[in-house]
Amino acid sequence: MMRRTVCLLTALCFLLCACGGKEDKAAQSFTLDQDTYNTLSAAVEGFNSQDLRQTAVIIGLTQGDESRYFNQGTYAYSRKEPVAMSGKSTEVYGGDGISVDVYYKAGAYYYSGKAGKFYESFDKEQFLKQYLCTNISLPAENKVSGLRTAQTSAGTKYVLTAVDEDVFNALFGDILLTYSGVKKPQRDKTKYTDGSFTCVLDGEGKLAALSISCKVSLYDSPAYYPTGYVPTEAELCHSFELSYELNVKATGKDVEIESPTTKDFTFLG
């Protein structure tokens, strides 16, 4: 369960790191203020420069009023030697939920919950490529079609309207394929809309939070009908909403990584 969650969340950081592609027509009529973009870039680069981080992550996939997938976790981790991580994660899928404590050190990934205590080998370089440790980045300027700002108790909120479907596909593609319930999606027809990046900067201009949301239309492959009936596009279309939220709890020397005992864990290989 945890390895699946880690692999899925790896896809989330692809959105944050992906730029490029064709310029969206909607973005051609909007010019992002350079000073604002530079301010956001400096905040993101400041976060990326920190090897010690404590973050809270929430991921959601919904279809109408139904939650298809939900994951929430809080993690403290170090990207420098000795590479380590501790945290808690709750995952809900198909009405079933599981909560686990997680810990990484010395090439092993530990997790404990109601099912027991287990650990498995996890190469350090592989771990550093996971969602926890990957740097984040803003979308390219020419991929933004709108900007609005607001003052909140946490700081200044910047909402960037993203227009690049390729970026969202890199982020949410694996989650859709795994949890949407669409058995044979036509990937080339996947349509993302209403995408946005929201950054919150605190009073010192540091990144306090980052969130991404979008809507998506996923098309199933038509089944074989002996009568020759061909389903319409509307009948094959399934609509979902996706969301990702990252909250920065601490960076640098303020981060504390727990070091629980691991002697009672069962090795899974």
Read off the pLDDT of residues 82-140 as tens digits, 9 standing for 90 and up. 999 999 999 999 888 999 999 999 999 999 999 999 999 999 888 887 766 677 778 87
pLDDT tens per residue, range 171-192: 788 888 899 999 899 988 988 8
Q: At what angle do helices 2-17 and 165-179 cross, to 10 degrees?
A: 170
pLDDT band at 12 (very low <50, low <70, confident <90, very high): very low
pLDDT band at 265 (very low <50, low <70, confident <90, very high): very high
User: pLDDT: is 15 or 264 the higher one?
Assistant: 264
pLDDT tens per residue, range 195-233: 999 999 999 999 999 998 999 999 999 887 788 888 899
What per-residue confidence (pLDDT) applies to 64? 95
Q: Which residues have CB under 8 Å from 204's CB, separation 6+?
A: none
Q: Which of 81, 89, 80 is CA-nearest to residue 55?
A: 89
Decide which of 1.10.606.20, 2.60.290.11, 2.10.109.10, 2.50.20.20 is the CATH code for 2-267: 2.50.20.20
Average of per-residue pLDDT values in the chain: 86
The pTM is what? 0.81
Query: Residue 75: exposed, middle, or buried by beta-carbon count in 10 A (0-12, 13-18, 19+)?
Result: buried
What per-residue confidence (pLDDT) applies to 202? 97
Q: Which residues have CB under 8 Å from 217's CB, separation 6+?
A: 189, 190, 191, 193, 237, 238, 239
CA 186 to CA 51: how far, in whole Å?
40
Answer yes or no: is pLDDT of 144 > 80.
yes
What per-residue confidence (pLDDT) applies to 137? 73
CB 178 within 8 A of CB 66: no
